[in-house]
Amino acid sequence: MLWLKALHIVFVVAWFAGLFYLPRLFVYHVDVRDEPSHERFVLMERRLLAITHLGGLLALALGTTLLVWWVRHAPGYLQQGWLHAKLALVALLIAYHASMAHFVRCFRERRNHRSSRWFRVYNEAPALLLVAVVVLVVLKPF
């Protein structure tokens, strides 16, 4: 059980590395005008998205395994309000992740219409969600 929890945390960190850095690449990609730079950003974004997919998938798989374990060994675990809030925030993180995949595709196909300022604001969402998830998990306020 502790090994599962440790690995879950490791892959959450890996997932968040991509959630934090990929939007920062978008900020810089917006201002690129020459073809070699565009191609370099497309390659970096594609590779980072693949690693982010892997980290997210493993974090979610291990988190689901932990959730199943807790449900079997701690009756009433699913009735805790903090857990519902955490799972809702994880759903938002999954949606955010999907939106990043969309933007990678838009940049690759030269269909991006967002500004670097927009991506700077967009880049803050995972940090806010991370703080909320950590507070919920550690404090279990309700």
Mean confidence (pLDDT) of the chain: 97
- The tokens for 30 are 């917006």
Q: Where are the domains of the chain?
A: 2-139
| pLDDT for res 72 | 95
Q: Which pLDDT band, with edges at 50, 70 and 90, does 43 fall under?
A: very high
Tokens for 55, please give them: 């980290």
Q: What are 57-66's pLDDT values in tens digits?
A: 999 999 999 9
**Residue for token digits 């960190």?**
13
- Residue-wise pLDDT tens digits, 3-32: 999 999 999 999 999 999 999 999 999 999
* Rounded CA separation 116/113 (Å): 10
pTM (2 d.p.): 0.95
Whether 75 has a pLDDT exceeding 90, the answer reads no
Show Cβ contacts of residue 131 under 8 Å, excluding neighbours closer than 6 positions. Answer: none
Mean pLDDT of 62-87: 96
